[in-house]
Amino acid sequence: MNNSTGWQVDQAILSEDDRVVVIRFGHDWDPTCMVMDETLYSVAEKTKNFAVYYLVDITQVPDFNKMYELYDPCTVMFFFRNKHIMVDLGTGNNNKIVWSIEDKQEMIDLVETVYRGARKGRGLVVSPKDYSTKYKY
Amino acid sequence: MFPVTKDFLGKPAPPNYVAGLGRGASGFTTRSDIGPAREAPPGAEGSGARDGPRNARSKRGDTEAGGAAAEMYQDPDNETGLFATLPYDREDAEADRVYAAIDAKMDERRKSRREAREREELEQLQAKRPRIQDQFSDVKRQLATMSAEDWESVPEVGDLVGKHRGKGRLRKLDNDPASMRFTPVPDAALLRSQQLGGVLTAVDPMADGLTSTLAPGAADGLTTPQDGTLSTAPSSDRVDLVEMGRVRKQMLGYQLDKFSDSASGSSTVDPRGYLTGLDSMVIQSESEIADIKRARTLLHAVTSTNPKHAPGWIAAARLEEVAGKLSQARATIARGCEECAQSEDVWLEAARLNPEARAKDVLAQAVTHLPQSVKIWLQAMKLESDPKLKKRLVRKALELIPNSIVLWKTAVSLEEDPTNARILLSRAVELVPLAVELWLALARLEDYDNARKVINRARKAVPTSHEIWLAAARLEEQQPGHEDMVGTVIDRAVHFFSEKGDIMSRDQWLKEAEQCEQNEFPLTCQAIVRATIGLDVDPEDQEATWLDDAEQCTSRGSIQTARAIYAHAIQVFPNHQDMWLQAAFLEKNHGTADSLDELLKRAVKYCPQEEVFWLMGAKEKWLAGDVDAAREILGLAFDANPDSEQIWLAAIKLEMENRFFDNARVLLTKAREQANTPKIWMKSVMLERITQRDDAALQLLQTATAQFADFAKLWMIQGQIYEKQHHTANARTSYRHGTTHCPTSVPLWILAARLEEQVANLPIRARALLERARLLNPKTPELWVEAIRLEVQQEQRQNGTSSTASSVGRGVSGAAASQLLLAKALQECPQSGLLWAEALALAPRAQRKSRSVDAMKKCQDDPILIMAIARLFWSERKLGKARVWFGRAAKLDPDLGDTWAWWYKLEQQHGSEDQQKHVVQACVAADPHHGERWQPVAKDINHFGCSVEQKLQLVTATLESP
């Protein structure tokens, strides 16, 4: 689903009581976002019991650019009951995912981890996969 | 602030809505270089989609427009942005324009001067605090001349930060890392180097040509002033330090000596105080060098002020020994020996410090000074290795000290030849007549007659020793044919001692008796008990005291003593049945079958009215396989107690177990006449049931229930028989009668409810029955569990699930009635393990663990609960844990058959042959009778007469996997 104003984004985050709100900030025309969106679309149905996904165009809705430092082509953030859930991804930046994930199962695992952690009241969960560069190269 | 809407898509935002802030979100700053996320909230210059007036207004109050907080702290004299809230109209625009023109004009006016000034200031600043780039600009320029090879040869920077910093830097300094690594020096090495330093200093002054002979530590601080040492300090640093320390110590020594020889003539230093001070100063490790030094000074003061004080010398020598200077220690103790020649401790210490050969000389010297010291002689003997020399030494010592028992004993133990030893001992007892041990040793070496004589002489010499009397008794016991003398001797001894006044108390005698038992003199032991057990005990306390004594003896393992006590007690109180009972238990646990039999025979002679002894005797016989003997005993028992229900029951059981059903029937008919009790009626019915004669059983039951209407078991049996014959109505009637006559019988209620539910398929009636039962018997967990199970079954039937529905399904579907009931039940009986076990079974799988923790908190030691938890572990495939918990449950209540059955099932599925066998053996040993799953199988008339092992197999076969 697409959100076109900052208010709508806020409402999207506020309206969910027991699902993780996953928001992708970026542009639909961006190649990184395209890959990520493909993954998100395909997992959305499978994870609909515990997660809901939104896409936000950061040119159309620039309200969060400073607040969430949205300077990357594609950023994915997690919210649960109006709380920003941080994920220890091993990259040093726990706030968001700034790359695209191609593996669907990987994405499902990540969202499920966030959901489980958030349900327990955690503000920071540890990602099942370590995205630090040592595994990338 | 803003309400949450569910259908927000495509709707406009409320006016003046600030995204993010509207839901109270705050951003984060991870990289201050790419943008301030927190400093300026997104209202200030966030979006281009903001309405015009706000943007324009922000031009004037730009810095302050952000927040009220900034406005609160601004300078009151120079306020800005005061009118930022007002609407921005044309006049404002004009004013802005005018101000801008004025600013531009002013800027133009002093432009050149200002620019010159600014340039000057910049130069000044650069001169004062030059940038690194500027500083090295000339060098940087030279980089242009570097070739590619030069660049290649630039070394890597390396790891300058991080955890390996220290090592890394060291490695930079020195190319060999091994040589730069530091490890802590062990204390032993420090001490060694210190000693080495001491030797060095001792050598160095000699080499320098000094005249004073300085052994380090020994002669220091005596009278020789060392004026040379300071001036000719050796060159090495280490030696220098040692020197300095020594000089300091010397000065202290002088001072202490001065104190001790003050002008008044009397010593101002209290040597005793010094010694106690030294005692409190424990030298814990060899590294406490400073302490050793201080102690040395103190001890030196002690020995020099009071040289006749032997402990001072010993302490000084020991200190040197601890400090590792053995030769020093020897020298000190040698001086001590000179000064205190009369102290045997000093001599012994000297012998200890010296090597063996030298020690002998020292001891020889010691003997000349102290010929009477036994210790010195013994020490000298220890040093000799040749037995001949040893003997000679002992003889010499005995010549000088003829009345030392220790010496005599050593001398005797050195003799291998018994005749020589005997001669020695006879001489010894003449010289030391009071030594009991020597007498006893002599008696042991003699043959019987001589030994008696020796003991008689000993008795005269030492009349107060009970050991001699006991030895006499033992001697008699050892001699075949003189066993009856033992009692006489002990009696005389006790008589003798009681005449003398109580030298030996009762407890002491008993202890002696136990000692005799341990040394395998049972007769002596018994004689002692017989003679002394009645000593100073009030007649009214006797029974309790004796029982107490016997119990204590049994617990200490002194069976003979206990037996003797019981024998005596039984003699005194032949009619006290508990005494007999205790004695019988002792025999049963520790004695042989014959001894028990004999005791029981005597017991029934004295207390024929006591059924226990008869039953015990019969059971023993039966277990031994002698059915006729058992029957005979029971026959005698009938003669003694014709109307005893117990004996009747035992006799019937005997016949039934051995499958003499006709005999049993005859017996029962007789029993019904003679001892008309409900139990006997029940047995009669059981017999008919076992022999498949249900009609006869029903007839009997009719009579029985008319007679004993409030005996619940009769009603139960009747109902069961009807159930078996499918006479549901009759069964219901009998249960109804039963419940009206005995409303407190829980099993009866449960049976009635089951009939309604399972046979008649009327759960509503069952429910009502259980409700009434609960009303009449509050706080009965069994009834609650039955009700819960009823609900669960009903729900399952409704859901159409099979009986092995998954636990989650059970949990969810049972939420309605069964969970409600369970909660109520737990409220009423929170301590019931049965209920908790049921709760565990009903809980969804995920919650079982936490449930079990709760349950364990409420009732820790409930075997049913522990069994349930063990099964929980089993279902989680934690077999080892399950095994341990089954073990716990079985230990808590070995009578609970369910535990054994489940455990056996576990071992059958997962355990080895040995483990299975172990469970079976333990189960047979425990002989369980109870248990929810055990009883129906074990009591089934089809399984009548099965052994415990067979029953275990049968029960296990009925169990389902957890």
Q: Each residue of B205-223: pLDDT tens digit?
A: 444 444 444 444 444 444 4
Q: What is the pLDDT of residue B944?
A: 72
Which chain A residues are Cβ-neighbours of B15 within 8 angstroms? Answer: none
Q: Which segments of B306-404 does DSSP mark as H helices, in order?
A: 310-322, 326-339, 344-353, 356-369, 374-383, 387-400
Dihedral angle of Cα B229, B234, B240, B246, to the nearest 10 degrees: -30
Q: What is the pLDDT of residue B232?
A: 41
Q: Which is higher by pLDDT, B102 or B135?
A: B102
Q: Which of B706, B799, B715 is nearest to B750 (CA)?
A: B715
**Buried-state track B900-913, b at ≥16 Cβ within 10 A, e below 16:** bbbbbbbbeeebee
Q: Can you spell out the DSSP letters for B899-959?
A: HHHHHHHHHHHHS-HHHHHHHHHHHHHH---B-TTHHHHHT-GGGTT--HHHHHHHHHHHP
Strands A83-88 and A51-57: unpaired
Report the distance separating Cα B685 and Cα B708, nearest Å.
Answer: 14
Dihedral angle of Cα B655, B659, B660, B665, to the nearest 10 degrees: 70
Partner B contacted by A93 (CB < 8 A): yes
Q: Looking at residues B412-426, what average pLDDT do you find?
A: 75
pLDDT tens readout for residues A61-93: 988 988 888 988 999 999 999 999 999 998 888
pLDDT at B593 over 70: no
User: In chain B, pLDDT over 90 holds for what percent of residues?
Assistant: 2
pLDDT band of residue A54 (cuts 50, 70, 90) is: very high
Q: Which is higher by pLDDT, A37 or B656?
A: A37
Q: B residues 589-628 near A, CB within 8 Å? A: none
Which chain B residues are Cβ-neighbours of A4 within 8 angstroms? Answer: 10
The residues that bridge with A57 in the sheet, in sequence order, are A26
Tokens of residue B741, six digits: 């006559």
Give the three-class secondary structure for B154.
Answer: coil
Q: Which of B120-124, B222-226, B730-734 has the highest mean pLDDT?
A: B120-124
**B209 φ, ψ (degrees, to nearest 5):** 85, 25
pLDDT tens readout for residues B886-909: 888 888 888 888 888 888 888 888
Q: What residue in A sits closest to B17 (Cα-Cα)?
A: A7
Residue B441: Cβ within 10 Å count:
21
Q: Which of B399, B357, B401 is nearest to B380 (CA)?
A: B357
Q: Could you say which of B12, B28, B35 has the minimum Cβ distance to residue A95?
A: B28
pLDDT at B162 over 70: no
Q: What is the pLDDT of residue A86?
A: 93
Distances (CA, A) of B242 to B206, B223, B224, B343: 16, 20, 18, 36
Is A14's CB within 8 Å of B48's CB? no
**Domains in chain A, start-ordered, CATH in brackets?**
2-126 (3.40.30.10)
pLDDT at A116 over 70: yes
Report the distance separating Cα B701 and Cα B715, nearest Å.
Answer: 8
Q: Which of B58-67, B378-387, B516-525 has the highest mean pLDDT?
A: B378-387
How far is B19 from chain A, CA to nearest CA, in Å?
A: 5
Tokens of residue B940, six digits: 């089934």
**Buried-state track B80-113, b at ≥16 Cβ within 10 A, e below 16:** ebeebeeebeeebeeeeeeeeeeeeeeeeeeeee
Tokens of residue B553, six digits: 């003896």
Residue B388: burial class (beta carbons within 10 Å; 0-12, 13-18, 19+): exposed
pLDDT at B539 over 90: no
Give the three-class secondary structure for B469.
Answer: helix
Please state which of the ranges B286-300, B444-458, B617-631, B831-845 shows the lowest mean pLDDT: B617-631
Partner B contacted by A62 (CB < 8 A): yes
Q: Side chain identity at B662, as an amino acid letter? A: D
Q: Which of B248-262, B805-819, B834-848 has the highest mean pLDDT?
A: B834-848
Q: Which is higher by pLDDT, B733 or B116?
A: B116
Q: Are B21 and B43 in contact (CB under 8 A)?
A: yes
How far is A124 from chain B, CA to nearest CA, in Å?
A: 14
pLDDT at B938 over 70: yes
Q: Are B27 and A77 in contact (CB under 8 A)?
A: no
Q: What is the pLDDT of residue B53?
A: 41
pLDDT band of residue B170 (cuts 50, 70, 90) is: very low
Q: What do you get for the CA distance between the two ends of chain A, in Å?
A: 34
Q: Looking at residues B318-335, what average pLDDT do you find?
A: 83
Give the three-class secondary structure for B678.
Answer: helix
Q: Could you say which of A15, A66, A93 has the minimum Cβ distance to residue B27?
A: A66
The residues that bridge with A75 in the sheet, in sequence order, are A25
Q: Looking at residues B427-455, what average pLDDT do you find?
A: 73
pLDDT at B227 over 70: no
Residue B538: Cβ within 10 Å count:
7
Q: What is the pLDDT of residue B276?
A: 60
User: In chain B, pLDDT over 70 holds for what percent of residues?
Assistant: 68
Report which DSSP code applies to B758: I
Q: Which segments of B374-482 does DSSP mark as H helices, in order?
A: 374-383, 387-400, 405-414, 418-431, 436-445, 448-461, 466-478
Q: Which is higher by pLDDT, B64 or B103?
A: B103
pLDDT tens readout for residues B357-370: 778 788 877 877 77
Give the three-class secondary structure for B451.
Answer: helix
Dihedral angle of Cα B736, B737, B740, B746, to the nearest 10 degrees: -60
Tokens of residue B281, six digits: 């100063």
Tokens of residue B730, six digits: 């009759």
Q: Are A90 and A131 in contact (CB under 8 A)?
A: yes
Residue A83: burial class (beta carbons within 10 Å; 0-12, 13-18, 19+): middle
Please state which of the ranges B408-417, B716-725, B883-892 shows the lowest mean pLDDT: B408-417
Q: Could you say which of A7, A15, A93 has the minimum Cβ distance to residue B19?
A: A7
Q: What is the pLDDT of residue A135?
A: 56
Q: Looking at residues B704-719, what average pLDDT do you find?
A: 79
Q: Which of A90-104, B130-144, B214-228 has the highest mean pLDDT?
A: A90-104
**Buried-state track B422-440, b at ≥16 Cβ within 10 A, e below 16:** bebbeebbeebbebbebbb
Q: Which of B926, B919, B910, B933 is nearest to B887 (CA)?
A: B919
pLDDT tens readout for residues B864-873: 888 888 888 8
Average pLDDT, chain B: 73
Partner A contacted by B128 (CB < 8 A): no
pLDDT at A108 over 60: yes
pLDDT band of residue B151 (cuts 50, 70, 90) is: confident
Please state which of the ranges A122-131, B269-278, B682-691, B724-733 shows the lowest mean pLDDT: B269-278
Strands A51-57 and A74-80: unpaired
List of long-range contacts for B630-634, beta carbons under 8 Å, 24+ apart: B630/B654
How many CA atoms lie within 13 Å of B214's alpha carbon, on the beta-carbon side? 31
Which chain A residues are Cβ-neighbours of B3 within 8 angstroms? Answer: none
Q: What is the pLDDT of residue A37?
A: 93
Q: What is the pLDDT of residue B47?
A: 41
Report the distance separating Cα B270 and Cα B260, nearest Å.
Answer: 9
**B58 φ, ψ (degrees, to nearest 5):** -65, -15
Tokens of residue A17, six digits: 């009581």
Q: Which of B67-76, B314-323, B437-446 has the highest mean pLDDT?
A: B314-323
Is B27's CB within 8 Å of A1's CB? no
pLDDT band of residue B158 (cuts 50, 70, 90) is: low
Q: What is the pLDDT of residue B671?
A: 73
**Domains in chain B, start-ordered, CATH in brackets?**
286-370 (1.25.40.10), 870-962 (no CATH)
How far is B27 from chain A, CA to nearest CA, in Å?
A: 4
Q: Can you spell out the DSSP letters for B810-867?
A: HHHHTTTTHHHHHHHHHHH-TT-HHHHHHHHHHS-HHHHHHHHHHHHHH-TT-HHHHH
Partner A contacted by B39 (CB < 8 A): no
Residue B625: Cβ within 10 Å count:
8
Which chain B residues are Cβ-neighbours of A82 within 8 angstroms? Answer: 23-25
Q: Looking at residues B36-56, what average pLDDT do you find?
A: 43
Report which DSSP code applies to B186: P
**B320 φ, ψ (degrees, to nearest 5):** -60, -35
Residue B417 falls in which region: left (phi positive, over 0), alpha (psi -120 to 50) or beta? beta
Tokens of residue B136, six digits: 């090295």
Q: Are B445 and B421 in contact (CB under 8 A)?
A: yes
Cβ-Cβ contacts under 8 Å between A and B: the total is 90
ipTM field: 0.79
pLDDT tens readout for residues B656-667: 776 677 777 777
Is A15's CB within 8 Å of B4's CB? yes
Is A13's CB within 8 Å of B35's CB? no
Q: Which of B798, B770, B795, B796 is nearest to B785 (CA)?
A: B770
* Mutation target among A13, A25, A69 for the B interface, most CBs of B within 10 A: A69
Partner B contacted by A69 (CB < 8 A): yes
Q: What is the pLDDT of residue B65?
A: 42
* Mutation target among A66, A75, A80, A83 for the B interface, most CBs of B within 10 A: A66
Report the distance separating Cα B373 and Cα A133, nearest Å.
Answer: 87
How many CA atoms lie within 13 Å of B253's alpha carbon, on the beta-carbon side? 23
Q: Are B763 and B732 in contact (CB under 8 A)?
A: no
Residue A22: burial class (beta carbons within 10 Å; 0-12, 13-18, 19+): buried
Which chain A residues are Cβ-neighbours of B25 within 8 angstroms? Answer: 10, 13, 67, 82, 84
